[in-house]
Amino acid sequence: MSDISVDIAVKNPPLAPWLQTQLESLLAQRGHAWLLSGPSGLGQFELALALARTWLCEQPTPKGACGHCG
């Protein structure tokens, strides 16, 4: 992998398939607050980070953050 690919993978680690679906759904219906809850280990923290990265991204895509901005 090139350094750029590694950098993007570190900034935007891949989400589990069920979390990617939730991310896309939440991005389509942005609200003022979200409560992410469930049993430990299902990925709430990773989903919250992906949402934050996307909302702060300069060029977000429907699937999440671009991975190039910081």
Domain ranges within the chain, ordered by starting residue: 1-9+43-70
Q: How far does the chain reach from its first CA to its final CA, in angstroms?
A: 20
Q: Which tens digit of pLDDT belongs to each residue from 18-69?
A: 889 888 888 888 778 888 898 998 899 999 999 999 989 999 988 889 888 8
How much is the pLDDT for 28?
86
